[in-house]
A and B are shown apart, each in its own frame.
Chain A
Amino acid sequence: MTWTLVLLLAAGAYGLKVLGFVAIGGRRLPPVVERCLALIPAALITALIVKDTFSTGQELVLDERALGVGAAVIAAWCKAPLIVVIVVGATVTAVARAVG
């Protein structure tokens, strides 16, 4: 039962990737569509950040994560390397939780 589910989900996940990348994505598109597609990372990754920071399930939550991600934003603004930004975000969150 569990393995069937795992394999099914894996196949589904891979299928959706192929759908975008190979099936639809291979052709040349009008410039206006290409301009829009180029903005997908900015829009979706920012949405992910917002979700991971301010929500738990369907609830909007303001907690220590906001401090951690805020610190990560400052670190990224100062052009700190990826690993530094991650460590700063996690550390500030952990300290805020320990104090609060």
Chain B
Amino acid sequence: MRLVLASRNDHKLRELAARNTVYGLTMAQYLGNVGSLGRRLVDSQLVIDETTAITAAQATPRLRSAAFWLTGATLFVCWNAATLLGAVVGSNIDPQTYGLDVAFPAGYVAMVAPHFREPAGRLAGVLGGVICLALTPFTPVGVPILCASAAVLVGVRRR
């Protein structure tokens, strides 16, 4: 039982944390040179799927900065409040019954939509999805997502 738990956590660490390093590279392009080291160390904690998707979709530095903080703060508060709520009432409801397991991919669909308006974003997105799908049966959980990063090489060609 403990072994299984450890292995799941191990997967989670790779799945959740490793791609945040990749996100960090993108976010640093938009926000990295802003503020002190201390400020950037705080900003780091807010780097995650949702903040990356929404921040990168904004047109100006001001909007990006605002989007990053608004998304990050909202997510931080809601995530922890909902975790507490789930810990209290969780065992009484089955998330699958209400389709709650699809809330995440559905939300990501809405967040990635602006990126699909650009031809390069569309190409990188489709390629990333295909890479992930192709590798899923053959690699540990989390690895296909990381490998999907290779799709950004479509950006090498000048638009």
Q: Which residues of A contact B (CB under 8 A)?
A: 5, 9, 12-14, 16-22, 24-26, 29, 32, 34-55, 57-60, 64-65, 68-69, 72-73, 75-77, 79-82, 85-86, 88-95, 97-98
Contact = CB atoms under 8 A, between A and B. Distances in A.
Given A52-B108, A72-B105, A9 B9 contact: yes
Interface string B133-159: 100111111001100110111111011
A64 B11 CA distance: 25
A55 B138 CA distance: 12
Nearest to B33: A26
A77 B47 CA distance: 26
A60 B133 contact: yes
Top 10 nearest A-B pairs (CB, nearest first) are A20-B24, A25-B28, A89-B106, A93-B99, A43-B128, A21-B24, A47-B148, A94-B99, A72-B106, A47-B132
B66 interface: no
Contacts of A69: 102, 105-106, 109
B136 A21 contact: no
Contacts, number: 270
A98 B127 CA distance: 33
A68 B110 CA distance: 13
Interface of B: 6, 9, 12-13, 16-29, 32-33, 37, 40-41, 43-45, 47, 49, 52-53, 56-57, 96-113, 115-116, 120-122, 124-129, 131-133, 136-141, 144-145, 148-149, 151-156, 158-159
Nearest to A93: B99
- Centre residue among A18, A54, A88 by max chain B CB count within 10 A: A18
A80 B107 CA distance: 11
A94 B37 CA distance: 46
B106 A48 contact: no
Given A21-B40, A21-B43, A16 B102 contact: no
Contacts of B127: 43
